[in-house]
Every structure is written in structure tokens, then in C-alpha cells.
Amino acid sequence: MTTPGKIVVTILNFNGKKHLERLLPSVLGQTHPHFETVVVDNCSTDDDVAWLRSQFPTVKVIVAPANEGYSALNRVFTLPEAQDAACFLFLTNDLILDRRVLEHGQKVLSEDETIGLLGFDMLGAMKWVDPAELTAASARLGEPVAKETKLFGGAAMMFRREIYDLLGGIDPVYFCYCDEDDFQTRARAAGFRIAVLNTPIWHNAGNNTLATSSRWSAFLQCRNDIRFRLVNFGLLRAAAGAIKGALIACAPFVKIDRSSPYEVRRRPFSPVRNAGIVLEAWWWNAVHFCETLRTRGEVRRRIRQARARREEGKAL
């Protein structure tokens, strides 16, 4: 049995003490009365873990044995503190929350059972903005309003436990980029609605760990774009996405927004150097093609089962 209204807030961290110094006070100061806070540390190489345990003793810390990327957050599902949770909020460490994020998210999910996942008004998600914008946005906020969408940025993602129980957690193959899109797409295919709430969160876009490793980031973005489409939409959509990605990376006549971290990841260097990244991403997907098809088959099977179980529940 789950405890009504209990939320487990799970924060992903890697060498991010400077981010956690801003994020954790905004999490612990939430107006919602019933939540647990967990930090999953991706094998940081500095003193993050010791600092966390010293400065935030009420926060549970899990240390992954290696850097597992975004999927390290899956570790929270097996914790005793999580067994009676109604829902989860997954966060990256480079955020600051409005103090009503949990309260408003819980309100929307409790009032509309068709909504399975919630995003938030992410200030600076694509372009950097001053953190003072969060104070201004919070002052303007009235009643929480959720608007349906297809996908939202996974830096802050609130969802019902039922989604994990039916469909599983974050796919570890992605490591980062497209993993939250994959999770949300599977949930939507299983019949859950996805919405974005107008409660604001500040995001330190472009100033996180992967922002300093452009080639690796660009490779993961290109590789995962193709795999995401193949798993969720099939071969034709994957091929079309691969061609589009190659044009963005290598064709000078295709314009991009250089102030957007996402756009820069898709074209980080010169056309010739970018071509090498694209070819490497294509080669990876060719080598792992059969494995990806098996994943697609398992995903489709679980989606069918989830839809059937949810229909049975509605009929009771």
C-alpha cells in the first residue's frame, strides 16, 4: 500500500556541490508536509558525499559504484523509504525550486488521475537566465495550472509510482539525453497523460558536468536521438531522424541557435569534425541494432500489458 500524498524527491549528483548548495535548501523548504529526500551520487570524485552527510544529515545519500548517468535514479525504487510513496520527483542537481513545487504537483496528480507525469515551468531550460527570475516568477504565480504536452525537459520530472510498476524505470543504455523522453513516451503510449505545471523552477542550463565535455555530449545526443526513435517509433522514423541530425551537424546552410545548449550539442565543431561524431553514432546504432530491436519488442509488450491492466482497473 502507498501512503497517500507521500513523495520521494530524488536528486542526481556528480561533482555538484556548488549546485546542491542552492538546490537542497529549496527542496527541504517545500510547503508539502510529507516527503523524503534522497541524493543519488554518481561516484563523485570530490568530497560531495562527505559534505552532504555533514551538512544535510536528514537527506539520505546513495552512492552508485560507477557513473551510471540519469538511470542511477532507478536505485531509489528499491529503498525502504520509497515503498509507500505515491509518486516521485526526479531532479538533476542544477536547479532551484519554487517552494510550492511538491504541493502543487501533488494537488494536480490527486485531482486528475489521468495525468501520469508532470513537468514544470523551467526557467532557463534552453537559455541561461538570472536566478532572480525565479523570485519574480514565484511572486506572479497564482493557482497551479497544468497544460497537456507530448514531452518536457527531464531535469525535473514528477510521476506516479504506477508508471514504474507497469513500465520499469529509466533505460540505462542512454546514460543521458533522450532517457527522459523515452520514459515519458513509454508512459504516454501506455495511456498516461503528460502535462506541464506553471509552478516555476530555475535551471542552470549549459553549466553542468557534460557541458564541459562537448565531443562526448555531442556523440551521446546524436546516438541517443537515433536509438530513441528506433525503440519507440520504428525504423523509418529512426532513419529520418538520423538524416536530419546529420544535416544539422554538418550542413552550414542549416541555421541553429548558438545560445541553446541543445543546439550546440548537435553542432559543436566544424562540419568535418562533426561528421566523425555522426558516423560514430551511426556505427554504434548499427552494431547494437539487434539489441535495440529486442528492447523495442520488450517495450511494446509492457505497454500492451500496462494498457490492459489499466483498462481492467477502470472496469472494476
User: Rounded distance, CA 211 to CA 40, Å?
Assistant: 20
pLDDT of residue 210: 52
Q: Can you give the residue ranges of every domain in the chain?
A: 7-209, 213-291
pLDDT of residue 204: 87
Instruction: Locate 73 and state its grid cell.
Output: 535514479
pLDDT of residue 315: 47
The answer as to CATH 3.90.550.10 being correct for domain 7-209 is: yes
pLDDT of residue 281: 96
Enumerate residues 6+ apart whose C-beta is below 8 A from 128. Answer: 204, 205, 206, 207
Please count the CA atoms within 13 angstroms of the CA of 247 that sit on its side-chain side.
9
Which residues of the chain carry a pLDDT beneath 50? 315-316
pLDDT of residue 310: 82
pTM beyond 0.75, yes or no: yes
User: Rounded distance, CA 223 to CA 3, Å?
Assistant: 40
pLDDT of residue 176: 86
